[in-house]
Amino acid sequence: MTVSIARHGAPGPNAERFAEALSGSTTASIERLEEAPAMIDTTFTKSLLNVQAHCTVDPRAASIETWEAVVAAMQLGSALFTVTSSTDGVVETRIHHKIRHIPAIGPRPYADAGNWLTAFWLAIICRDQKRMTRLCEIPMDRLRSPEGQFDEYVYHWVAALQAYWLQRPGMVEELTAALQGSNPDVATVAPRDLLQKVLYPPINLFYRFLRKDHDGFNQALVEALELHKAYWTADEDRAKDPEGRIALAPLAIACLAYDGEIPIEVESDYLPKHLLQRGWLGEFEV
């Protein structure tokens, strides 16, 4: 039986205008990257807000503008790690329908594990296996931040995902360490409610996916979305934040499950239907 989980909130009267304005602003920032490559960080951040704004007004991702926003964010997330991987040369990459030639800028602190996870989720959602592979080939030492910025489990989580996709040994050990390290009694950096309701559930969901436990996966997906909703409705400010309109990590893992022919028995606007079911795939070159 399919379980439905309603998304919190409703688009405000200016939500569509806001999404349109963000699209224009994001495109303008992308156009400047060849001359101002150091803007890649802020442009990626803006592109994520653009995705959230479009999903707010288009919860099923039925509009091509929403798909364009998601693809552009995915392309920017991948490019962020490419341009920071070297201090020399020019990176040639497609972003927003055009091949861009962006000068390499060398290591930057924002090329970290947090942005890596976001970029990887977007690549999964867009089913861009080449970008998934390139992200997974990034050495872990490039993703490490100064002590105190991330809990240690985050690096085990990234390592588990990399080992899974590249079919390298050590995935089970890394995932086990991520599960154990994300316990609120162990992790000390992330706030407890964020950890329990947003950061841990995708790890558990991925574990259920690996086990090919269909019932367990769907139960974990329901729990992940309910916890996501609880976190983003805990107070008025969170409830207004467009970031809560889409459950990015659960969506990405649900995409893996969907492509792996695990029946998805959960319907929710937190998981835009046409992103989950790859309805726009092939619409244009990514």
Q: What is the 3-state secondary structure (H, E, C) of the chain?
A: CCEEECCCCCCCCCHHHHHHHHHHHHHHHHHCCCCCHHHHHHHHHHHHHHHHHHHHHCCCCCCHHHHHHHHHHHHHHHHHHHHCCCCCCEEEEEECCEEEEEECCCCCCCCCHHHHHHHHHHHHHCCCHHHHHHHHCCCHHHHCCCCCCCCCHHHHHHHHHHHHHHCCCCHHHHHHHHHHHCCCCCCCCCCHHHHHHHHHHHHHHHHHHHCCCHHHHHHHHHHHHHHHHHHHCCCHHHHHCHHHHCCHHHHHHHHHHHHCCCCCCEEECCCCHHHHCCCCCCCCCC
For the chain, 286 residues long, the average pLDDT of each consecutive 10-residue run is 94 94 98 98 98 97 98 98 96 97 97 98 98 98 94 98 97 98 94 97 98 96 98 96 97 98 98 97 93
Q: What is the pLDDT, as a whole number, of residue 31?
A: 98
Q: Report the pLDDT value the prediction gives residue 260, as an integer from 0 to 100.
A: 97
pLDDT at 1: 83
Q: Using a cut of 0.95, tell me whether the model's pTM lies above it.
A: yes
